[in-house]
């Protein structure tokens, strides 16, 4: 019997444990999992999932904005289905107080009404190729750490340029198993993406911050885009002449519904996991997450107070606040779960087993690998903490810091009189400034920055802080500069860009402070020598774990950590029990009405939705006189999987994955088969909202249904 495990899960798993959903599998290698999938209810073939010789499921799945989310084609005219929270920033960017698509939703009744989303991209995977032998050559592996990493990086750059075919493709090489394998991913990137439909946030984000990472859930977390191409079908920037993309493959919608125990699989782009971290790495991660959660919480309290006082600010900062809250919740709950689920202690046992296995072989080439790797981590552990204080409070906390630092190269080229470069940078800054100032409020930035600077100064050594920041006069000067800086006012900024000068920047104290803060980052970074040594030792540590597992069970199959490349996870529809309570596996319309509170934006129920409930007008989407809203699976997902279609054994859509549950938030580090679940919106609830609530028959008519 084959065993499916992450590298540090050393004890062999039974078949039932395997089917608890663990594993983010590379599509080109999925044939090795086929028998298990077939026994669980998969009714297609490996070639139906991934092939370069025929259309397959990979041809229906795209990565949005370089891995931020996943989406899937659901029509012959390039219509994409994804999560509402994946389009939230886009919806916010086109909203205003007078045209509030966040509150009211948006439904294009015809293609001409669809709204172009500036900067949004959809990357379609063309192929996956193992290029390990081209990168980890015997001569490269004989080099010392610094030379070795330099050669590897150079080879990767050359191969990516070669495989891009002069820009026809986006070619990316990703490492797997911490540098033990390398795969080339080729994509075609589409750049004309338009919004087709989105429910009001009271439907798409029902429960809001309160229900984030929580179960039970009732949100219809979906929105709809469309991909457009040039008339010849090639990728193109927005143009009125562009036409809807015709996908090679699109997914059908299954309206039969799901039952507990049904097969479920998800194909998408999980962002990042740390399943192969050592116990010391997890301990460092936990300490960092404590810092990050505390910092984000302070920022959230300030922005929320401004948003509650003004609708214009609410719309302006909606996306930023949601992103910050999601980060806070993730860091806080992961920190808590590492403790509650004793993740470090369990991972320590795996490392102890590794140590024993190495010691049993007197000739082992891994004799020093554990000690070497842990020494590398210790060498930079304190700076790692300071880096996270800087990252959360300074770079992510103070808007003027990130924005101001983007002008450093402009200052440099102005100083040396390199006019061509100045013109190029000014053009780019001007193009991006409109969106920046549309979503910027200097009063909020000052209030947050003042708090973040004080917090930072209180927690890191003075040498890492801006000069004079331990003096009250510093903060008086900060307030004054917010009222005069070119970085905090659209008109002042545009006037500067009309006639930019190094002198103007050198006299702008907020710009100088931003540069000073960013330069502090150099203090925290490990030396190149230490970084390269750590990378090589981590690769060897991981390889030792793999060899130990193979020695226990030669048929063991490993899955690599998520790294924003396309993966497949398979399992079943199921609930869970937590602290003796049956948490169930689905929710109904009744549970949404039970949470209703029209005095709280997170739990508002619109009159039109209430009316449909009161009339029991669920259309053809009902189940036993009610409407099921969300359900659970034991699939293995991470950030980036948001928007992924949940598929049945025939590859048809039964739902959309949109969240994980807070009881197992350390799942990126260690899979928890008993309590880790994927929260999905039932596709029938999605159809109900489009059909019965929005009356968007034009969207329904594009879809293909199976039952």
Q: In 415-566, which ranges are E strands? A: 557-558
Which residues have CB under 8 Å from 428's CB, separation 6+? none
Distances (CA, A) of 136 to 266, 325, 366: 32, 41, 19
Indicate which residue of 85, 276, 407, 537 is catalytic. Answer: 85
Question: What's the sign of the alpha-carbon dihedral 467, 468, 473, 476?
Answer: positive
Q: 246 with 76: CB under 8 angstroms?
A: yes
Which residues have CB under 8 Å from 454's CB, separation 6+? 475
Indicate which residue of 642, 644, 652, 668 is catalytic. Answer: 642
H/E stretch holding 630 reads: strand 628-633
CA-CA distance, 381 to 29, in Å (whole number)? 37
Q: 334 with 660: CB under 8 angstroms?
A: no
Q: 597 with 655: CB under 8 angstroms?
A: no
Cα–Cα–Cα angle for 189, 195, 201, rounded to 5 degrees: 125
Radius of gyration of the chain (CA): 26
Identify the burial level of 436 via C-beta atoms within 10 angstroms of its C-beta, where 0-12 means exposed, 13-18 middle and 19 or more buried: middle
Indicate which residue of 100, 192, 211, 221 is catalytic. Answer: 221
Bridge partners for 62 per DSSP: 71, 124
CA-CA distance, 684 to 253, in Å (whole number)? 9
β pairing state of 223-229 and 79-82 = antiparallel
Q: How far apart are the first and last CA of the chain?
A: 35
Q: 74 with 250: CB under 8 angstroms?
A: yes
The phi and psi torsions of 435 (rounded to 5 degrees) equal -65, -35
The phi and psi torsions of 585 (rounded to 5 degrees) equal -130, -5
CA-CA distance, 115 to 105, in Å (whole number)? 13
Q: Annotated catalytic, 642? A: yes
CA-CA distance, 503 to 415, in Å (whole number)? 8
Which residues have CB under 8 Å from 120's CB, separation 6+? 64, 65, 90, 191, 193, 225
Question: What's the sign of the alpha-carbon dihedral 37, 38, 39, 41?
Answer: positive
Q: At what angle do helices 343-359 and 528-552 cross, to 10 degrees?
A: 80
Q: In 511-627, which ranges are E strands? A: 557-558, 567-572, 577-578, 581-582, 586-588
Other residues' Cβ atoms within 10 Å of the Cβ of residue 605: 18
Which residues in 274-302 are b (16+ Cβ under 10 Å) and which e? bbbbbbbbbbbbbebbbbbbbbbebbbeb
Q: 204 with 211: CB under 8 angstroms?
A: no
Distance, CA of 282 to chain centre? 20
Which residues in 223-236 are b (16+ Cβ under 10 Å) and which e? bbbbbbbeeeeebb
Q: 192 with 239: CB under 8 angstroms?
A: yes
**Catalytically annotated residues:** 85, 221, 642
């Amino acid at each position: 019997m084959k065993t499916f495990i992450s590298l540090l899960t050393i004890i062999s798993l039974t078949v039932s444990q395997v089917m608890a959903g663990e594993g983010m599998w590379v599509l080109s290698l999925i044939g090795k999992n086929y028998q298990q999938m077939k026994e669980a209810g998969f009714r297609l073939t490996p070639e139906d999932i991934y092939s370069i010789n025929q259309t397959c499921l990979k041809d229906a799945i795209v990565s949005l904005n370089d891995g931020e989310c996943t989406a899937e084609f659901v029509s012959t005219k390039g219509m994409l289905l994804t999560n509402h929270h994946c389009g939230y920033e886009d919806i916010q960017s086109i909203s205003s107080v007078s045209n509030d698509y966040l509150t009211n939703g948006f439904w294009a009744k015809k293609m001409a009404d669809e709204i172009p989303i500036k900067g949004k991209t959809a990357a379609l995977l063309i192929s996956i190729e193992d290029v390990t032998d081209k990168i980890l050559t015997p001569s490269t592996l004989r080099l010392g750490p610094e030379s070795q990493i330099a050669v590897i990086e150079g080879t990767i750059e050359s191969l990516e340029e070669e495989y891009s075919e002069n820009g026809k493709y986006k070619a990316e090489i990703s490492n797997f198993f911490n540098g033990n394998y390398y795969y080339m991913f080729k994509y075609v990137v589409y750049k004309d993406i338009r919004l087709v439909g989105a429910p009001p946030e009271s439907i798409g984000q029902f429960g809001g911050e309160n229900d984030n990472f929580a179960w039970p859930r009732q949100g219809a977390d979906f929105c709809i885009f469309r991909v457009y191409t040039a008339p010849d079908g090639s990728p193109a920037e927005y143009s009125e002449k562009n036409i809807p993309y015709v996908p090679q493959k699109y997914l059908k919608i299954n309206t039969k519904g799901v039952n507990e125990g049904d097969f479920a699989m998800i194909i998408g782009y999980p962002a990042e996991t740390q399943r192969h971290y050592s116990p010391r790495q997890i301990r460092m991660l936990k300490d960092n997450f404590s810092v990050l959660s505390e910092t984000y919480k302070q920022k959230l309290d300030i922005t929320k107070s401004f948003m509650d006082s003004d609708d214009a600010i609410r719309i302006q900062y909606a996306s930023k606040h949601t992103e910050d809250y999601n980060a806070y919740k993730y860091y806080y709950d992961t920190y808590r779960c590492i403790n509650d689920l004793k993740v470090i202690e369990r991972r320590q046992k795996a490392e102890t087993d590794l140590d024993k296995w190495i010691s049993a072989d007197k000739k082992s080439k891994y004799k020093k690998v554990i000690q070497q790797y842990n020494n590398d981590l210790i060498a930079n552990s304190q700076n790692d903490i300071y880096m996270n204080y800087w990252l959360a409070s300074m770079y992510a906390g103070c808007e003027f810091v990130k924005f101001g630092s983007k002008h450093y190269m402009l200052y440099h080229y102005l100083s040396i009189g390199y006019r061509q470069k100045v013109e190029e940078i000014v053009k780019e800054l001007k193009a991006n400034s409109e969106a920046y100032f549309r979503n910027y409020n200097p009063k909020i930035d000052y209030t947050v920055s003042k708090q973040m600077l004080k917090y930072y100064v209180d927690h890191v050594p003075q040498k890492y802080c801006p000069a004079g920041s331990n003096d009250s006069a510093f903060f008086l000067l900060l307030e004054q500069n917010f009222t005069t800086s070119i970085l905090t006012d659209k008109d002042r900024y545009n006037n500067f860009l009309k006639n930019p000068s190094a002198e103007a920047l050198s006299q702008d104290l907020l710009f100088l402070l931003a540069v000073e803060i960013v330069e502090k980052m150099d203090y925290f970074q490990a030396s190149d020598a230490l970084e390269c040594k750590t990378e090589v030792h981590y690769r060897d540590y991981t390889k030792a774990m793999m060899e130990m597992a193979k020695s226990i069970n030669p048929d063991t199959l490993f899955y690599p950590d998520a790294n924003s490349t396309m993966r497949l996870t398979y399992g079943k529809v199921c609930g869970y029990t937590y602290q003796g309570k049956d948490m169930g596996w689905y929710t109904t319309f009744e549970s949404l009405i039970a949470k209703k509170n029209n005095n709280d934006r997170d739990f508002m129920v619109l009159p039109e939705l209430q009316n449909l409930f009161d009339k029991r007008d669920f259309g053809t989407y009902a189940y036993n006189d009610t409407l099921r809203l969300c359900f659970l699976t034991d699939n293995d997902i991470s950030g980036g999987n948001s928007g992924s279609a949940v598929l049945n054994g025939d590859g048809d859509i039964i739902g959309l994955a949109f969240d994980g549950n807070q009881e197992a938030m350390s799942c990126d580090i260690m899979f928890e088969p008993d309590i880790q679940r994927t929260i999905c919106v039932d596709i029938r609830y999605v159809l109900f909202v489009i059909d019965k609530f929005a009356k968007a028959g034009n969207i329904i008519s594009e879809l293909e249904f199976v039952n």
